[in-house]
Amino acid sequence: MAQQLIVVTGASTGMGASAARELARRGFHVLAGVRRDPDAFRAPGIEPVLLDITEPGQVAALAARVADDPRELHAVVNNAGIQVNAPVEALPMAEWRRVFEVNLFGHIAVTQALLPALLRSRGRVVNISSVGGKAAMPTYGAYAGAKFALEAVSDSLRREVEPLGVRVVVVEPGGVRTEMAARGVATANRLATGMTPEQDARYGRLVQAINSLMSSGTESGLTADAAARVIAKAVMARKPRTRYTIGRDAALITRLTRVLPDRALDRVIAAGVRRHYPAATA
């Protein structure tokens, strides 16, 4: 494994940073993608690389770095992502496009750039999706939409390249204790200030409830290090499953989406959100 490379995108903090450390500990040389130099961290087996997955020049530089290395590329872990929550009606189109650029198109760009190396090494693509790629909560339209799309792209890619020796794996985390949820709440609150009075009357309490639910789910979730061990399993398993969940909440919700009709799932989700609604004001 010391002679094999792994690329991890979004490795500044959270699951990405933990996955980079875990994979380096297991003997890989990890190219850890960070968006800014101050976010770079160095440790044995970890080499930070400047990588904004929405910047074609930086993606091309990553591909060149891999091509110039005599070691094989074992896997790319597409982990970079942002969380943006707002009602469908109230989310500006620029934000919709930004979410899809980061959470979907950037992953496709990195995968396209590194597929020649993965085909040579018979490596694998590990796409970090979300339980939101299976069940779309209220205000999660953009985030879940990109994750649903990533799930579909992963299925299509798997059926294209597994006959050529490249494995494609999806990892679906539930609540994980990282900075992402806190940033998501801050973004949701910022976007809520841009709602019209009519939209605020319709959705204001819902946004507050989702923020509370998001925070509580994160606080009770797994650590980033525990999530990293699941990612490492997806990277290293000799015969990996097509999908891995992280956390009991993700395992439960993905099962429910397979067995419940839409209306029943609507009621389950509504009941979970209802417990977090703020008290109505006079």
Look at residues 161, 147, 86, 80 and name the one whose alpha carbon lies nearest to residue 116. 161
Per-residue tokens: 237: 């398993």
Backbone angles phi, psi at 71, to 5 degrees: -80, 150
- 203 labelled catalytic: no
Domains of the chain: 4-274 (3.40.50.720)
pLDDT digits (tens, 9 = 90+) for 253-281: 999 999 999 999 999 999 999 999 988 76
Q: Which of 140, 143, 203, 244 is catalytic?
A: 143
SS3 label, residue 77: strand
Averaged pLDDT score across all residues of the chain: 94
> Which pTM value belongs to this model?
0.93
- Structural contact between residues 15 and 40, judged by C-beta atoms closer than 8 angstroms: no
SS3 label, residue 252: helix
Backbone angles phi, psi at 31, to 5 degrees: -90, 105
pLDDT digits (tens, 9 = 90+) for 68-110: 999 999 999 999 999 999 999 999 999 999 999 999 999 999 9
pLDDT digits (tens, 9 = 90+) for 161-193: 999 999 999 999 998 987 777 788 888 999 999
Could you tell me how many helices (H) and strands (E) the chain has, helices first?
10, 9
